[in-house]
Copies of this chain bind each other. A is one copy, B any other.
């Protein structure tokens, strides 16, 4: 078997016919379309192959399991995440919340995200893939907003010593869990929209809460 990741090792193989990049794109597009049409439950590798005009073999040459394909298919949506500087920490938090909300309200994300997270509870490799492909892309925004707030003086700078760094990392993790978790819960469990009013209330809670944290 050859490397089962798209273009993973750029300097490995040189001979033979190279994999088609168009095919990669077609498959990921087909996968997202299939998620929209069928949801995760009836999502089928065979169906994706048919949509992409490709053989099943071609899929399995690139992804070992359908959950990995879905992670990659959804991951590109999280590349779009960006955080324009809105001038204040409050506004930036609202921005992050709205960005997350918008992404989770897309049918392909909604259908797939919790499914792969569920499978990741018994599959460490999948969990790692989700982290690098999706979670880290979200976390970036939280880290970025925090750095901006520190530059603006809205938050104190990170202490330089080891313990301080660890405490800062834990705080970032907590904030991230609050933002991402709350938005996910709102969207998938409560099944209600993430609008600007709601985003403002959540941002307010977080901001005030962080101020009182210590």
Stretch binding the partner chain, chosen from A76-84, A142-150, A188-196: A188-196
The chain B residue with its CB closest to the CB of A175 is B205
A74 at the interface (CB under 8 A from B): no
In the assembled complex, the CB of A81 is this many whole angstroms from the nearest CB of chain B, namely 16
Contact in complex: A177, B191 (CB < 8 Å): no
Stretch binding the partner chain, chosen from A22-30, A112-120, A157-165: A112-120
**C-beta contact mask, A33-62 vs B, less than 8 Å → 1, else 0?**
000000111000000000000000000000
In the assembled complex, the CB of A158 is this many whole angstroms from the nearest CB of chain B, namely 17
**A206 contacts which chain B residues (CB < 8 A)?**
205, 209
The chain B residue with its CB closest to the CB of A65 is B41
The chain B residue with its CB closest to the CB of A110 is B121
Contact in complex: A182, B177 (CB < 8 Å): yes
Residues 164-214 of A at the B interface (beta carbon under 8 Å):
173-174, 176-178, 180-186, 188-192, 198, 201-202, 204-213
Contact in complex: A182, B178 (CB < 8 Å): yes
Q: List 23 A-B contacts (CB under 8 A).
A: A39-B119, A40-B119, A40-B121, A41-B119, A41-B123, A111-B118, A114-B117, A114-B118, A115-B119, A118-B188, A121-B188, A127-B191, A130-B189, A173-B192, A174-B198, A174-B201, A174-B202, A176-B185, A178-B178, A181-B183, A182-B182, A201-B213, A205-B213
Question: 7 closest pairs, A vs B, by CB?
Answer: A181-B185, A208-B212, A205-B209, A209-B209, A39-B122, A181-B181, A114-B118
